[in-house]
Structure 1
Amino acid sequence: MSDSTTNLLLPYLMAAQAQKHVTHNEALRLLDGLVQLSVKSRQMTAAPASPTDGDRYIVASGATGGWAGWDLNVALWTDGAWLRLPPREGWRAWVEDEAVLLVRNGADWQPVIPTGLDDLTRLGIGMAASTGAPFSAKLNSALWTALYAADGGSGDLTQTLNRETGTDDAGLILQTGFSTRALIGMFGSDQLRIAVSSDGSNFSDALGVDPATGIANQPNLPRFKAYTNYDNYVATDSWTTLGINVADYNDQGCFDAGTNRFVAPVAGTYLFGASLLYKINANTSARMRGRLVLNGSTEIRGSFGEISSAHVSGATALWLQTLVSLDADDTVALQGTFRAADGYFAADHTTFWGTKIG
């Protein structure tokens, strides 16, 4: 029969043993040193000069003096002497001067939470990582902060997304319920791209930046330029919506040639302009007027203009331009009239244009 326990090597009380209290107290002393193991340090190769009863250390490799040959063992100072506690597989020890929890693994002590995470194949935080997403995290907020100069850093914070070739992707994919709703980055080219989707399949580009020039393009910005292809007769003192019925371009279909008006697809700030070319009916003393109207009736402040001198048919022109804040589905139309004598707003050169700018 063994005279000690298998794992902690605590001495047994034997039959007919004298001074059983000595053996019992030795077992208690070992338990006191091993249970809830917390060591002062694991950096020392020689015993400290003035230990306190109960102090424990993991002896560093290359131990000398009274600790010689105790490398990576636990040294316990108790009852005025150092006691060697040979570690067993799976022992855990808290290292006080490093605030790290170690576990005995084979012939060494290793952090329970590894301090070196090099060459991991997967890492999951709050969820299991997968082959398709080897780094996965399930959480409600995340923070990246620079290492300040006072803490030994530079104060900078940068993040690099590197792709293999110019036809691969590098960017952020923003999703709702794992269905993509926005892309920000370089996708399939060197152009910086911002695109959105309402269904996760069809995408509309909001912004593209040319890598060679830095020129930004907004391919889906609401904008148009249109003109009338016939001479619009307008009587005196009669504001009339001009027949702007042909679009040179019409992004987002924002101009309705059937009703001769712009319809705002989204709320925002818009810039509008117009050119009105005079064509004589019978009297060059006609006074040509123009304006832009909101929702069919309200004159937009800053859009009114008039040419009051004698006109030259086919040459005298009036230009209008203004900014206006619109709600979705608001309409803007170009109107004209004459004072003193009637006339025409000439075909092909009477134009109306607009674009969203904010």
Structure 2
Amino acid sequence: MDQTSNLKLPYIAPSQAQKHVTHNEAIRALDALVQLSVLNSNAQAAPSNPAEGDRYIIGSGASGAWAGKDQQVAAFQDGAWAFFQPLEGWSAWIAKTANFLVFTNGAWKAAASGGTNPVNAVGIQTVADDTNRLAVKSPASLFDHAGTSHQIKINKSDDNQAASLLFQSNYQGRAEMGTLWGRDFRIKTSADGSSWRDVMIADNATGVVRFPNGIASAATGKRLSGLVFLPAGPDATIYQMPGSATPAAAKVASIAADIITLAANSAVSLFGTAMRDVAMVRLWNVTKSPAQSAWVKWDTALNGLQVVNADHIKQWASGDALQIVDPVKKTIAIDISPLMQKRLGGVFAQDGVLLTIVNSGNSVGSLVLPSSDPSPQSGANLVYFRGDEARVFNIAGVYG
């Protein structure tokens, strides 16, 4: 064997004269091919005044000094052209077009189709890392079609993960959209990058779209409010207690955890049985000064009430006087979050409620009550009635 297997560099024979000639020939080949960088990759004719060391990839249909050397590497060395036949996998940097070519299947092709897949990370004008394995710093990015169409696909391992586009400002999240922690498509926004609000939720099964924080008027910028009628079901009574000019009252017999036992069978005068699973009412202990309050969510018996938070009644004692009328505002506060959760599937800050008025068991009309005060117990807004209200009110719809 008188030459190397890959670059075809000549060996020096043991008895060869002028060994330096063979050695220099090998050095010239290495100088031409190692860290290969050429001026152009599609030249068809040798330049008239090449500089020493200039290299080219010869294009198809070459003529003159390059005739018959298509696809070969031409290097101008010691005043003459030397030619090198590329082998499978050779790569070259093309100075004119600033890209890499790879020799594969008998032709020079762009590196993207010639064997750089896969790579661990790619950074364009910036540094990629373990999380951002493709990092691009550029005024714009173009994802063009090859044929007629183009898709960008974002895949996640299962439905409980996130597949999204995150929009940032100074590397803090400001908006995000995608299938976030479920199948529904969501758009959400943030003012600080940590607290987020849902703008839109599209149900993956039905395509129905919800706007949890409402839609604003283009003219005024204020949130629009639409009436949502309750789905079919039993009457939803949010207020059912006898009223009079003198508010109904009761006395505490005992306190045990979150249960208030009354001294008489008077629970119905503070929390109507029909309000179970529909509403909560604010109860006031007027023996305390100033008056203390707790939210009642259930009537356990004719003489028993259950409160939302046992901590609110820890200081209450036997003999304390209770009433549902605010001792200052003279109103009765109702929280309808149990109804919202049960009949509408979620709790939100409603703008108002549409009520049916019931008197002596008969519907006698309807009433719209605005509601804007946030409930301290839920995400709903409070509904208020007069302290001497004697009628029953069923809820027909919610504005929001």
User: TM-score range, shorter-chain basis?
Assistant: 0.5 to 0.7
Change (3 A) 1:325 1:141: farther
Offset, 1:345: 1.9
Offset, 1:244: 5.2
Aligned letter for 1:262? Answer: D
SS at match of 1:109: strand
Aligned match of 2:335 in 239, 254, 262? Answer: 262
Equivalent-residue separation in structure 2 for 1:3 and 1:228 (angstroms) = 105
Once the two structures are superposed, residues 243-286 of structure 1 have per-residue CA deviations (whole angstroms, 9 ceiling, x without a partner) of: 555369959xxx95747942647886333447696989xxxxxx
Aligned match of 1:322 in 371, 388, 395? Answer: 371
> What residue is the counterpart of 1:182 in the other structure?
182
Change (3 A) 1:356 1:243: same
Offset, 1:174: 5.3
Whether contact under 8 Å (2:230, 2:398) holds in the other structure is no
CA RMSD of aligned residues (A): 5.5
> What residue is the counterpart of 1:97 in the other structure?
96
Equivalent-residue separation in structure 2 for 1:326 and 1:85 (angstroms) = 83
> What residue is the counterpart of 1:40 in the other structure?
39
Aligned residues: 261
Equivalent-residue separation in structure 1 for 2:115 and 2:228 (angstroms) = 45
Identity %: 27
Unpaired runs of 5+ residues, structure 2, are 122-129, 163-179, 186-201, 214-225, 250-268, 280-295, 300-304, 306-332, 339-345
Equivalent-residue separation in structure 1 for 2:243 and 2:229 (angstroms) = 37
Of structures 1 and 2, the one scoring higher in RCO (CA 8 A, sep 6+) is 1
Equivalent-residue separation in structure 1 for 2:140 and 2:352 (angstroms) = 49
Change (3 A) 1:104 1:19: same
Whether contact under 8 Å (1:256, 1:263) holds in the other structure is no
Unpaired runs of 5+ residues, structure 1, are 118-122, 128-137, 163-171, 195-204, 208-214, 281-313, 339-343
| 2:378 maps to 1:345 | no
| 2:386 maps to 1:336 | yes
Change (3 A) 1:106 1:315: closer
Equivalent-residue separation in structure 2 for 1:218 and 1:56 (angstroms) = 79
Which residues in structure 2 correspond to 1:218-237 (within 5 Å)?
A: 225-226=236-237, 232-236=242-246
TM-score (normalised: structure 1): 0.53
Which residues in structure 2 correspond to 1:144-223 (within 5 Å)?
A: 173=159, 175=161, 181-185=181-185, 191-192=207-208
Equivalent-residue separation in structure 2 for 1:59 and 1:106 (angstroms) = 16
Once the two structures are superposed, residues 66-91 of structure 1 have per-residue CA deviations (whole angstroms, 9 ceiling, x without a partner) of: 10100001100111111111122332
Which residues in structure 2 correspond to 1:235-274 (within 5 Å)?
A: 235-236=245-246, 238=247, 245-246=273-274, 256=297, 258=299, 261-262=334-335, 264=337, 269-273=349-353
Equivalent-residue separation in structure 2 for 1:216 and 1:345 (angstroms) = 26
Offset, 1:48: 1.7
Aligned letter for 2:335? Answer: F
Which residues in structure 2 correspond to 1:1-20 (within 5 Å)?
A: 2-20=1-19
Equivalent-residue separation in structure 2 for 1:65 and 1:216 (angstroms) = 85
Aligned letter for 1:336? Answer: R
Once the two structures are superposed, residues 309-355 of structure 1 have per-residue CA deviations (whole angstroms, 9 ceiling, x without a partner) of: xxxxx9799864331223444894654345xxxxx7235xx446785
Change (3 A) 1:246 1:93: same
